Amino acid sequence: MSKTQSLLGHIPFRIPDIFGFSGVISNREASEHSAMATGSNAQPGILGDGSVAECRAPEGLHVAFSSQEVTPWDESRFQHVRKLYDATRNKGVVQLMRDTQSDRLVAVKQMPNTWIRECHEDFVREHPTETEMPWQDIGCTRFLNSVNFRYGCSLHGVYRGDADTYVTTSFATEGDLFSVAQAGHNPGPEREAAFAPIVVQLLTGMRQLHDMHIVHRDISLENVLLTKEDGPATGTPGGEQVRVIDYGMASTGRVFKRCVRGKASYQAPEMHGDQEYDAFLSDTFSVGVILYASLLKDYPWLSTRPGGCKCFDYVKSHGFRMYCAKRKVRGSDMRVAECISEDLMALLEGLFALDPAQRLTLGEKEFPADRRSVWDEPWVIKCREIAGGCVNI
């Protein structure tokens, strides 16, 4: 059973019965989760308060890491602790290991050399239709480290053995948002307050990525991790720090056409049309899905493809607010609209605007100053107050 189906809490491949009907959808590849995260050394680019100085990612994200930096894998240096999960899209596995040189736990993504190849150019030649690029993920991570991006991963090293390549990063101690979304308070005011600092960090991190001209294109519950580390407070009650990971589908382009990326539940509806779309705004739609799923313990829909999910078809016909008035909260007879605050409803409605021109932005500097963003929304303003001002935008 995939993570999406697990979160929905229903039998595999069935739409939840929220209006008194059920429908069957097609099978989809289980999403790949990455548990790689950490802080990074101070470098020019991101200021000490977490705000973005003027910096721009290289046009080709893979160039920030040279394949000449790959070193031989020393099996005696890394002690296996346990398997974390399968890295399905990359034909490999992610292991938790202890680096005996630094005496720290690290996440090690192990991929066959026959898959990852010698470098980015070899990978593209061998897999011309692949949409997830491992060398691009490595390069983007290295670039983000170089500008001290607070909400990114830290790359410890890339190593090669006789059969496999090993990418080592820090271990995220608290897991991913998918796991967090299934636990904690039931939907309501307490849950909204508990998630407020995490939401502010996520919105800040995504805004900063866009201001560096990086669009993620696969942001999801699985690609947001939480970790506890020594250092200054981050605004979360337990000291958890948000890490945005997995840049294999990322790009420094902004406008795309007939280019669908990401997981089915998260894809902005304009991706499925024939017109050009703004990837800043499609990322923003995906962030809305993360917020909904985190705060309601459920996905809002399984697909945004036309005819792919009756839930999203209802939203297109009747609007998100009416959908929430009909939709049942998972494991309850209550409706979504009864469980969330009006301020949260307004925020989600803005993030899910079907017309991208009407959608809330993340406050990117590329948009006009008078374009409404998430930071203008009362719910987010309250979240920042709960976070105690520890998170800067």
* Tens digits of residue pLDDT in 2-28: 565 455 543 232 333 333 332 322 333
CATH number at residue 161: 3.30.200.20
Looking at this protein, which amino acid is placed at residue 182? Q
CA 206 to CA 204: how far, in whole Å? Answer: 6
**Both 198 and 93 in a single domain?**
no
| 193-213: average pLDDT | 95
User: Does 28 map to a domain?
Assistant: no
Q: Is 25 helix (H, G, I), strand (E, B) or coil?
A: coil
Note the pLDDT tens digit of each residue in 209-234: 999 999 999 999 999 999 986 544 44
From 115, 135, 170, give the residue that closes a domain.
170
Query: Helix 189-211 crosses helix 378-386 at what angle (to 10 degrees)?
Result: 100
- Amino acid of residue 134: P
> Looking at beta carbons, which pairs linking 359-365 to residues 24 or more positions away fall under 8 Å?
359/281, 359/284, 359/285, 360/284, 361/280, 361/281, 361/284, 362/203, 362/206, 362/207, 362/210, 362/280, 362/283, 362/284, 362/287, 363/207, 363/393, 364/207, 364/210, 364/211, 364/280, 365/211
Q: Cβ contacts of residue 376 below 8 Å, gap of 6+?
A: none
Residues 229 and 208 placed together within one structural domain of the fold: yes
Whether the predicted pLDDT of 287 surpasses 50: yes
Same domain, 152 and 282: no
317 and 356 share a domain?
yes
| DSSP per position, 291-341 | HHHHHHTS-S-S--STTS-HHHHHHHHH-HHHHHHHPBPTTSSSBHHHHS-
The span from the CA of 187 to the CA of 184, in Å, is: 9
Question: Are 343 and 194 found together in one domain?
Answer: yes
pTM of the model: 0.86
- Which pLDDT score is estimated for 371? 97
- Give the pLDDT score at 153: 82
Q: What is the pLDDT of residues 103-138, one digit of tens each?
A: 999 999 999 999 999 999 999 999 999 999 999 999
* pLDDT at residue number 53: 56
Domain that holds residue 194: 174-386
Alpha-helix runs per DSSP H in the chain: 3-8, 113-116, 120-126, 134-146, 177-181, 189-211, 279-296, 310-318, 320-326, 336-339, 342-351, 378-386
Number of domains present in the structure of the chain: 2
List the CATH number of the domain containing 244. Answer: 1.10.510.10
